Each structure stands twice: as structure tokens, then as C-alpha cells.
Chain A
Amino acid sequence: MEVLKFVIKSVLKMFLTLFLILTFTFFLLNTVPGDPLAARAEKMSESQHKVLEERYGLNKPVVERYFDTLGNVARGDFGVSVVNPESDVKETILFRAPASIRLGIQQMLLGIPLGMVLGILAAYFKGRLIDKFVRIFSVVIISVPLMIVAILLQRYIAGELGLFPVIGWPKGSETWFGGWKYTVLPTIVGSLGYISSYSRLLRNSVLDTISSEYIVSARARGLSEFKIIKDHVIRNSFIPIITGLPLTLAMGITGSFFVESIFNIPGLGKYYITAVQERDMPMILATTLLLAAIYVFFIMITDICYKLVDPRINPFATRNQRGAMR
């Protein structure tokens, strides 16, 4: 019962948050000077301008437009793009989202576990070769722009060796599954960030755990080093990771703009930036809402994960009880 109550509460909160985000974004967009038509105003006659204003409802007062938008969103209608009048916003997003989501998932599936394993090894063999390698690697990855790595890979692996295509992305029936050769290079480039950040995070976390008293206590019980790592160190080292994990997931799914544009992948990331540059209001609203929904959803998942790993934390407790526990 407790759990069900918590989930229902969280879902309601999630919708409230999304509503607030929608409201906020809408008014922010409308207070910023200029509208999507202004950029093109020079090329249009007065009367054409008026017709378009009428068509997109830009001549109505802001508050009225706000309620129109709310009603439309509630019905699942996000309108049409102002910049490309022929494309429906919802359809465009649904068409472009799969590429971003697949790319994100593949990057994370490769990067996070690999980063974690490297981090654990680096901590356990502190000061040894693998530790030095991990530390140098993460510094290099942070300081060298991903763009350069991507171009180098395109040039040598794809171009000269011809192992993979230089650009492109699987389409049609292969959208979610298949066409792997197109995805290899973008996945590798995108995963480098995860590998470097997660290996450093886990290295520090494991070092903290290894020096704690309950590890001494486990040794005193005669446990082997392997068992100590497996049963005590790893689990306790994951607690700080879990705070960051859902946000990483959200960020990963919401796309990596650079990778998408270098490899010419028809994803959301690239499209979102263009929409913002051109003040394409329906497009910005819809994408913002989608990204926000993904974030809020994953934050909800965090609380549940916490409970599973660390029994001391009870996300179902009231704030007061929680304060007393910490």
C-alpha cells in the first residue's frame, strides 16, 4: 500500500511539474522580443504577414494563446512547425526520437559498465599501471573535444580502413534494431564521456569504501578479498553513483548534438537547437516538454533505486522522518 501510494503521488507530482514547465516555457518564449515570423518579415508583404499571424494565432493576446495551447497539449496536439509549415510537430518528434534514443542507449550500455569496471580495477590496483592508465585516459577525454576524436575515427577507421560507413544511420525496419555498422562509430565516440566520468566516479567511491571500518570487520571474519569486493565494496560504492545515474540516462536519451551532427544522424538533438535558433515556438514547447518528462520520470526512478540499494533511505518516509535519519 505504502508503495502504491508513493507511486500515485509521484505521478501526480510529475504532471504538476510538467504543467509548470509548460507554463514557464510558454511565457518565457513570449516575453523574449521577436517571433518566428519576424525573421522572415522583410520578404513578406503586409497582407501576407497578417494572414500568417492569423493562421498561427499570433495576433491573439498572450493569455488567450496560453489557454489555447494548454487545451491543445491536453488533447495531444502540438500544432505545426512555424518554420516548416508542412511538418506536424508531433509527427516530426516521433520520427526523429528513435534515432536519438537508440544512440543514447547504445552509448550508455557501452560506456557506463565499461567505466565502472575500469574504476573498480583502478581503485583496487591503486598506483599500479591500470590506475595510471584510467587516470590519464579520463583527463585526455575531458580535455580533447569529442569532435576531434570523431573526425579522426571517421578519417582512419571509416575512411582509410573502410571498416564502417563515415556517416548515416539505419532507417525503416532497421530503426530500432539492425544496421549496426552505421552505429558503431557514433556509439564509441559518445561513450567516451561516460567511460571517463564513471571510471573516475567509481574509483573514488571504491577507495572510500575500501577504507571504511566494516571492510576491516569483514576481513576479521576471514572473508577472502574477492568476497569482500563482491559482497561489500561494490554495493556500497554504488550508492553515490545512483544519484547521478538517472540524470545521465535522461541526458543520454535526450541526445548528443555534436555526435548527431558529425555523423549526420536524423535525431532530436540537432533539430532542437535549430528550432531554438529560429524561434519555432510549437517545436520548442513540444521538445522541451518531452525532455522534461524524461528527466522527471528518471528522477522518480532514482528514489526507488535508492531504496533498493540502501535500506537506510526510505523514500516513502515523510520529509521530517527523513531529516531525522540523516
Chain B
Amino acid sequence: MQIKNLSINFSTSGQIIHAVQDVNLNLDHAKITAIVGESGSGKSVTARAIMGLLEKNAIITSGQILHDDDFQFNSDAQKTQTVDLLTLSNKQMQKIRGKSIAMVFQDSFAYADPTMKIGYQVAESVRAHNPRLPKYEVKELVIQWLEKVGIKNARTRYNDYPHQFSGGQLQRILIAAALINSPKVLICDEPTTALDVTTQKVILELLKELSSQTDTKILFITHDIAVVANIADYVFVMQNGRVIEESRSIYNPKEAYTQQLLQIALNKQKINTLQIQEQNSQILTATGISVQYGKKHAVKNVSLSLHENEVLGIVGESGSGKTTLIKVISGILYAQKGDVNYHGVSVAKMSKSQKARFRQNVQMIFQNPNHSLDPRMKIEDIILEGVVNYNVVEKNAQTQYVKELLQKVHLDEKLATRYPHELSGGQKQRVSIARALATQCEILLCDEPTSALDVQTEFQILNLLREIQQETNLSIIFITHDINLITQYAHNIIVMHNGQIAGYGNTHEIIENPTDEYIVQLLESVPKLQVHQ
């Protein structure tokens, strides 16, 4: 397959966006080809263009997508020939989709029909292209493939619904549905981004294994350069709708942008050797925290302590209880068992005025800045809301105070009068940080503050947090699913698994000498770049 000079525009409310510009891609170089790029780089749009699944407001202004296969809609059937997919009608594309080119998407739960048995959904792929195949043969084929992708008890699970599977299992099933017709090309659009790292590793291995068994070529789309290094034999780098670089290896980039991406990824693998200074006192302790939802323990017997000027990382996969834990620490949720002490006072037993002080001193930064900033408030009002509430500065000093805070988070002071939707994701998250700092807090609770951001922006936000933490006396609890993210910054880390602590201690010690089996597995699963040169 070859893509030549592809350009795609989107028209949204009168504006024209050049999503893909003059892109050339060739899948003949290798078995597994990757496109790496940030959100908005045009990588997904390119993939959808191949499938003929673009939104209605997309206009293909130029280009060709050449594809070789034996097409049956021509009179001289079964003969291999090259066609330009962009010239085909929707009816003709239906015969190619799922048969000759298949696709796997990001969020397996969203991309599986919740009301249809999974066996039927896989069988649909077969029946759409072989309508005459008898029903029992289709079923046998589906079961065979479900077993192939590692679904246990495939025959009984055939009749289960998507919600009865985990995200990783469901993604395997959708991979089976895509590969069941032995397509020439399989497009994987961030197939592991919504999954935990341990699951990601298994899915990547499955894809590699399946591609080596068949002659299916894989086009793998991702934002994660470490994943590319682990799976692809050839890589295209996209930025702002253009392919800026292509090569056999990700390790010797020519473009500055790619070099930067690689450097950030390599930096993430570094582990700090920070120690907490001994004179720093404990400001917050939690002892024996347990939270139950029904019969299920979300958090079970967790204790921790936070010192002055400490960065404490809490790492865990989805469902590990890390978000529940931070809710208890922030006083949003009361634990059924255990106690949180702030400067020696139990949060549960605080008086009204003590509680107000606690709320002022413990501030939170949330995952998605698009949801945590009121869209109808100006930036300065957002920052001042807490300031006014806790009476931090005099009324006539407020404007100056906002300016200082914006400077502190490296934002232009002119943004003060703008609304959130006029800012980029990174800028919004900076506003969230400024808002938290505005109350002159002592503890900052960060709940995955960078997971909605691009790699470069994530790097900048983390650096900003570190800078602020070193300048002031701030303590930070940083929650993340990405263990690599926190090893450069945190003094101590907690690894959580199934609501319990799998490891707690100095970052360097935990990473270098993991004592718990789960931590070993977690560290092994994280896709790594080789450090050489």
C-alpha cells in the first residue's frame, strides 16, 4: 500500500483546517510500520482516509491511496491489481473494509456494540464478506480465532457481552474481528492507549506474534515513541499534518522535533536519587485507610506520611484505588476505617474553622483541564475565586496578584481577561496550577494532571511543578498510572495494586531493588528505549 500526496481539509463553521498536507506513506518497507505524532498531527485522519471512514465535513483535496489486492467487484475477478481507494464508491469500499484492510481502534469499550454478543460481532466480519458460509462454520471460525487471540473458554464466552470482559480482553476480541478475514493491511489506531501498561505489553506481543504468522502488514499509530521502538520496523513521524521524517529506526532522528521527543522519552527513564532533608517535619499522615464500596475494597489498610517540601508519587493501574485514596486525603471522601492527620489534627474531628484552613492549604489539580475550569468564567476570576473566599489579599491588590501568579506559571498576563476555551490544554493546566497556588497552599494534590496532554506539554508542566516546588515550600502528592513519569521527580513513591500498597519507599530503592512481584511485572511492562551512544 502506498499513499501519495494526500491532503485533507476539514471545514468547521466556516473555517478550513488543513488536517493532512501532502502526506506520502509507503507500507512496503516493513511488516510493521508506525506513524508517531501528537494529537492533531493528522495521523488518525490519515488512517480513517484509508478506510474511507472520514467525517462528512472532511474534504480530500488531492492525493491517491494505492492498494494491491484481488478485488471481486470487477469483471475480471480474483486478479491482483492496484486501485486508488479514493476513487471507489462507498459500496465498493464496503467490500474492502474488514476484508482487505481492517482496523482496530483505541477505546475497546466504545468501539464494541454494548448490546450485541461478542461472538456475533466477530462473526459479522466473516458474514459481511462470505454471506454464503454456513452458520456453524462461521461460529467455529470465530471460536478458533477467539482462542488464537488468547480468550479462554472461547466457546462459552462467545455468548458474553462486551461489559463482561476487561478492556484488554475486549481489545483482543476486536483484534480477532479485524484479522479473521486475513486482511492485507491492519491499521491499529492507538490500540493500547486506553489500557494499563501490563495489558499493553501483552497486546503488543500478540500483535507482533500474529503479524509474524500471517502476511498481514500492520500500520501502527501511536503518540508513544517508546512503543514505536518496541514494535515497529519502520517509522513515519508526523507533525501538524505533515510527514517530517521517515526511517528504519527511531534512535537516530534528523529533525529537531523528533530529537526532542526522543530526549523526553529517554529522560523519563532516568531515576532520581533525591532524599528528603531530615529537618523537614511531617505535615500530613494517613494511617490504616480502608474504603469499601459494597463488598469490594477500593482501598485497604493504606498508611502514608508526607513531609514538608516532599514530592510523593502514587503509581497504580486503573482500579488500584489511587483516586479513592486521594479523595480521602483531600477530605472529599471519609474512610470507613483509618484516620488522616494534618499537623497532628484529625481531619474527621476538625472544627469548622480548622476545616476551612485545611481546605485552603490542601489544593487539587485535576486530570482534564477542559472539565475542571468553568467555561463561563474569565481566567482572572477563576484564579481569584479561592483568593476572595479565603481573603488572601486585599481587594485593590488582586489584579497585581493575578499578574504575579500568571508569571509564576509562565503565562502571559494578557490571558487574565480571556476565557478557558481560548487557551490550549497546556495553558489551561497552567491556570489550574495558578488557581491552586493562589490560596497559598501547603499541599498540592495532583490527580494525573498530565495524562490529557501531549508529551511535550506534559514535560513542560512537570518541569513547572518541580520549579515551583523547589522555589516554595510546597509538598506534592502526584498520582499517575505511568511509573516513568514520576521517577525523575519524586522523593518517595507508593505503588498501589488492588487497593493495597505493593511498595512504599525511596524512589531509587523501589525501582532499583523491587521487592514485590507486581512491581517487577510493572517495571518490565513499561515500553523502554534502549539507552546507548
Contacts and interface: CB of A to CB of B under 8 A. Distances in A.
A201 B294 CA distance: 36
B128 A222 contact: yes
Contacts of A222: 94-99, 125, 128-129
Interface in B80-99: 94-99
Interface in B24-49: none
A222 B294 CA distance: 43
Contacts of A47: none
Given A213-B107, A312-B161, A312-B163, A218 B177 contact: no
Given A224-B128, A311-B161, A312-B161, A219 B115 contact: no
A201 B128 CA distance: 31
B479 interface: no
Interface in A270-326: 309-312, 320-321, 324-325
Contact of B116 (A232, A239, A325): A232
A45 interface: no
Nearest to B183: A222
Given A216-B105, A222-B99, A309 B115 contact: yes
Given A221-B177, A224-B94, A236 B113 contact: yes
Chain B binding site: helix, strand, loop or mixed by DSSP? mixed
Chain A binding site: helix, strand, loop or mixed by DSSP? helix
Contacts of B96: 222
B103 A220 contact: yes
A46 interface: no
A227 interface: yes
B90 to A, nearest CB: 8
B161 to A, nearest CB: 4
A213 B105 contact: yes
B128 A227 contact: yes
B112 interface: yes
A307 B94 CA distance: 33
A214 B161 contact: no
Contacts of B114: 214, 236, 310-312
Contact of B110 (A213, A223, A235): A213
A231 interface: yes
B299 interface: no
B295 to A, nearest CB: 8
A232 B162 CA distance: 14
A309 B114 CA distance: 10
A236 B163 CA distance: 15
A230 to B, nearest CB: 11
A216 B111 contact: yes
Interface of B: 51, 53, 94-99, 102-103, 105, 107, 110-116, 124-125, 128-129, 161, 163, 174, 177-178, 293-294, 296
Given A216-B105, A232-B116, A235-B115, 17 more contacts: A213-B105, A214-B114, A217-B174, A219-B51, A220-B53, A220-B103, A220-B178, A221-B128, A222-B97, A222-B98, A223-B128, A224-B128, A227-B128, A231-B124, A236-B113, A236-B114, A320-B293
Interface of A: 212-214, 216-224, 227, 231-232, 235-236, 239, 309-312, 320-321, 324-325
